[in-house]
């Protein structure tokens, strides 16, 4: 009984395969007959249409390839722009005092009793000479933070300053030092006014200035874009 069913299934499968091949053959013959019935002009037009279609497909492929290349370039430019923006942001944060900075600069050692006006004279001179960051005894100078008080009672940001003091500035060492020590400059003027004070200026290959611990958020001002 099982052999009978197996034989029938085999015969059925063979008949199905033969039917499929017959249909494929008939379709192929029908296509060949349809082509055979076309005139030379019809065949020429058919070939021309096929050729035009192939050319159009090639053009579309080239256009897509061009667009893909342009998109890749745009992505790369976007990465470069993002990196540039990040670098600019880092520089701005460092310049504002939010981040610490390091680089070439000068060191000013102050020994003796110098009033706040004298210290602020040195600080202003450094800013005017192009200093990018300044600190006094490790305290970062930012807007609204200045040295106050008499020579023996100096205060910076509410904290007392005790001599000797160290003033650090990041910037071109030659420019900063030259501005301080030029003839008739602030060092010469302070030395004449306060002979008991010693001021020593030295160029440094590496100066490290810490970030500020003060809030830099404006109270009244609002950013405008």
What value does the mean pLDDT take over residues 2-14?
Answer: 51
Average pLDDT, the chain: 80
Contact of 126 with 168, CB cutoff 8 Å: no
Domain boundaries, given as residue ranges, for the chain: 100-209
pLDDT reported for residue 27: 53
Judged against a pLDDT cut of 90, whether residue 139 lies above it is answered with yes
Encoded tokens for 176: 């900063």
- CATH 3.30.70.1880 describes domain 100-209: yes
Tell me: the pLDDT tens digits for 84-115?
777 778 888 888 888 999 999 999 999 998 99
CB within 8 Å of 54: residues ≥ 6 apart: none
Which of the four pLDDT bands, split at 50, 70 and 90, describes residue 79? low
Bond into 164 cis (ω within 30): yes
Tell me: the pLDDT tens digits for 44-71?
766 666 677 767 767 767 776 787 777 7
- φ, ψ dihedrals at 86, nearest 5°: -60, -40
Give which of 197, 177, 214 is closest to 119, Cα–Cα: 197
Contact of 169 with 86, CB cutoff 8 Å: no
Helix, strand, or coil (residue 68): helix
Which of the four pLDDT bands, split at 50, 70 and 90, describes residue 30? very low
Q: Is 98 exposed, middle or buried (0-12, 13-18, 19+ CB in 10 A)?
A: middle
Q: Which residue has the higher pLDDT, 10 or 37?
A: 37
Encoded tokens for 218: 């404006």
Which of the four pLDDT bands, split at 50, 70 and 90, describes residue 26? very low
pTM beyond 0.75: the answer is no
Per-position DSSP letters for 25-37, written without gaps between them: HHHHHHHHHHHHT
pLDDT reported for residue 3: 47
């Amino acid at each position: 009984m099982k052999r009978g069913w197996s034989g029938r299934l085999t015969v059925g499968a063979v008949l199905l395969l033969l039917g499929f091949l017959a249909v494929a053959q008939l379709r192929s013959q029908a296509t060949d007959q349809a082509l055979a019935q076309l005139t030379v002009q019809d065949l020429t037009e058919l070939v021309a249409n096929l050729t035009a279609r192939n050319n159009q497909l090639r053009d579309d492929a080239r256009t897509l390839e061009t667009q893909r290349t342009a998109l890749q370039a745009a992505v790369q430019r976007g990465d470069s722009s993002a990196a540039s923006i990040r670098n600019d942001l880092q520089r701005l944060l460092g310049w504002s005092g939010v981040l610490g900075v390091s680089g070439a600069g000068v060191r000013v050692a102050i020994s003796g009793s110098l009033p706040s006006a004298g210290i602020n004279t040195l600080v202003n001179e450094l800013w005017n000479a192009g200093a990018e960051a300044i600190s006094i005894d490790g305290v970062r100078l930012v807007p609204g933070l200045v040295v106050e008080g008499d020579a023996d009672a100096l205060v910076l940001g509410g904290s007392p300053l005790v001599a000797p003091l160290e003033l650090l500035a990041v910037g071109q060492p030659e420019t900063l030092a030259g501005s301080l020590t030029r003839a008739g400059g602030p060092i010469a003027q302070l030395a004449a006014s306060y002979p008991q004070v010693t001021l020593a200026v030295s160029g440094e290959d590496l100066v490290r200035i810490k970030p500020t611990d003060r809030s830099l958020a404006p109270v009244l001002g609002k950013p405008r874009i």
